[in-house]
Amino acid sequence: SHNRVWNFSAGPSVLPLSVLEEVQRDLLNYKGEGMSVLEMSHRSKVYGNIISDAEATLRRVLKVPDNYSILFLQGGGTGEFAAAYLNLMSCKSVREKQRKLGRQLACDYIVTGGWSKSGLKETKRLGGITNVVLDGVKSAATGEVTYNSLPPVSEWNLGKPEETAFLYYCENETVHGVETPANYVVDVVDPLVPVICDMSSNMLSRPIDISRFGAIVAGAQKNMGPAGVSIVIVRKDLLERDETDPEITRNIPSILDWCYYDGAESMPHTPPTFTIYVCGLVFKWAENLGLEALEKLRETRSGLVYDMIDAHPEFFHGLVDKKFRSAMNLVFTLPTRELEAQFISEAAERNMVQLKGHRNLGGIRISLYNAMPIEGAKAFVIFMKEFYEKNV
């Protein structure tokens, strides 16, 4: 049809074909405006509708409560590492808690892989005091840290609530393939500590109870749309500030300041207009399916591949503890590097691309985001089986 491949990229990644077709159809003349969305002023009425529709659709799909703001920002997922820290430390309730304590509050970090580690590093870089709640799992024998599971909750080193500004974690580690089950973290954190969660690579793939989070941050370029926008869903009381407090806004560049965007329809300055437009179409596509159906699809897709891994564990070696393995990014190794290279090149001959593990981890990684049709996962599993039979 369109000569499209099965694209297992970790992001930017596959988008729904129907969305791409709609973009193509409307590209030269968007709904009779005589111009493309690419060329349209963000101050035009038409664009105002595009962005407010996108926001409203996402709000419906994720059932975002009224006391949460949805913001479209720039700077990618990485920008939000700094933004989360800077905005939370300026928030009125956090500042009050700090005053009461008489010294700087600590920020709790759960480190389950590369991306939460990057969040932790950024906060340290900005002068934050950090408390590492857990850092992967440590081998008792060698002391070596591996990001393939989470230690039992009884071993978590949670800070005291009155000494903690917020707790941060990443729900799906795109590189290490570790996904924390829904509500797993919020169930153990004291409700007085706002939980900040990076959901860049699993947002929109299953229902979430937003009300349990202080803020959810995500780069769009996996389940939500093309690269170029980050989405923040933040509880409104965390945007309250004491304007007489000299230490707050002075410390936050406008571009990272959630309050700068809130109340300005995310448009205090030029937003990434086209990206947000495409995200809006993806949100509509997701709404038509519904989060429950998307969750079933993700379990089906990843289940097909994990079943094959589990059937031949001596050949396909899954890297992550079953309880925490990701439905979005599946990581495994083959018996030798040579077989992995051969696996990748034979897959490419069958139009299956982007299978190479992350440069820091090696092995194989396939990403099965929302827009990957079940047929893609099935084709991959057939290939796995044939490859196994030929090379075992």
**Residue 215 or 308 with smaller CB distance to ligand PMP:** 215
Computed on alpha carbons and rounded to an integer, the radius of gyration of the chain in Å comes to: 22
Cα maximum dimension of the chain: 71
**Residue 219 or 248 with smaller CB distance to ligand PMP:** 219
**Residue 256 or 384 with smaller CB distance to ligand PMP:** 256
**Residue 231 or 308 with smaller CB distance to ligand PMP:** 231
Annotated active-site residue in 198, 258, 285, 356? 198
Peptide bond into 12 cis (omega under 30): yes
Residue 276 tokens, joined:
């947000």
CB of 197 to ligand PMP, least distance (A): 10
Residue 157 tokens, joined:
């080193």
Angle formed by the axes of helices 17-26 and 273-289, to 10°?
A: 140
Count, residues in the chain: 392
CB of 198 to ligand PMP, least distance (A): 5
Residue 356 among the catalytic residues:
no
Binding site for ligand PMP (CB under 6 A): 11, 76-78, 115, 170, 174, 198, 200-201, 219
- Nearest CA to 62 out of 212, 223, 207 is that of 207
**Residue 10 or 286 with smaller CB distance to ligand PMP:** 10
Residue 156 tokens, joined:
């978590």
Three-state secondary structure readout of 291-349: HHHHHHHHHHHHHHHHHHHHHCCCCCEECCCHHHECCCEEEEECCCHHHHHHHHHHHHH
Residue 156 among the catalytic residues:
no
Annotated active-site residue in 6, 97, 108, 115? 115
**Residue 48 or 76 with smaller CB distance to ligand PMP:** 76
50 in Cβ contact with 243 (< 8 Å): no
CB of 75 to ligand PMP, least distance (A): 7
34 in Cβ contact with 245 (< 8 Å): no
Matching residue, tokens 């947002």 = 203
**Cβ partners under 8 Å of residue 100, min gap 6:** 162
CB of 77 to ligand PMP, least distance (A): 2
Residue 115 among the catalytic residues:
yes
CB of 230 to ligand PMP, least distance (A): 7
CB of 100 to ligand PMP, least distance (A): 33
Annotated active-site residue in 97, 222, 284, 356? 222
Sign of CA dihedral 335, 340, 346, 348: positive
Tell me which residues are annotated as active site.
Answer: 115, 198, 222
